[in-house]
C-alpha cells in the first residue's frame, strides 16, 4: 500500500480508498496524496473537497483509478 501512496504522490494521480471513519462507517474516497508520514498521510479528498489527514490503521484497501477508455 505504501508504494501505491508514493506513486500517487510522485505522479499526482488519483487513488480510490476504502476507509473506515471514526464512527466505524466504511466510506469510499477518491484522493490524491500530498505527503506521507509514519502513521498517516495527507491527501486531497475529492469527496470532501479539501485536504485531509488519513490514518493508515483505518484504511481497508486502496487502488489506482482507471482512466476512462483504458482497458
The pLDDT of residue 6: 94
What predicted TM-score, i.e. pTM, was given to this entire model? 0.84
Are the CB atoms for 53 and 42 separated by under 8 Å?
yes
Query: Which H or E element spans position 34?
Result: strand 26-36
Tell me the pLDDT tens digit for each residue of 17-55.
Answer: 999 988 999 999 999 999 999 999 999 999 999 999 999
Alpha carbons 37 and 70: distance in angstroms, whole number: 32
63 closest CA partner among 16, 5, 2: 16
User: Could you state, in order of their start, the residue ranges of all structural domains in the chain?
Assistant: 2-64
Mean pLDDT of 64-71: 72
Fold of 2-64: SH3 type barrels. (2.30.30)
Tell me the pLDDT tens digit for each residue of 1-25.
Answer: 788 999 999 999 999 999 998 899 9
Give the three cell numbers for residue 7.
506513486
Amino acid at each position: 500500500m505504501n508504494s501505491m501512496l508514493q506513486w500517487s504522490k510522485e505522479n499526482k494521480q488519483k487513488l480510490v480508498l476504502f476507509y473506515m471513519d471514526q464512527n466505524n462507517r466504511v466510506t469510499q474516497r477518491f484522493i490524491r496524496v500530498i505527503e506521507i508520514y509514519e502513521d498517516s498521510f495527507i491527501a486531497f479528498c475529492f469527496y470532501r473537497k479539501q485536504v485531509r489527514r488519513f490514518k493508515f490503521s483505518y484504511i481497508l484497501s486502496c487502488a489506482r483509478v482507471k482512466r476512462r477508455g483504458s482497458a
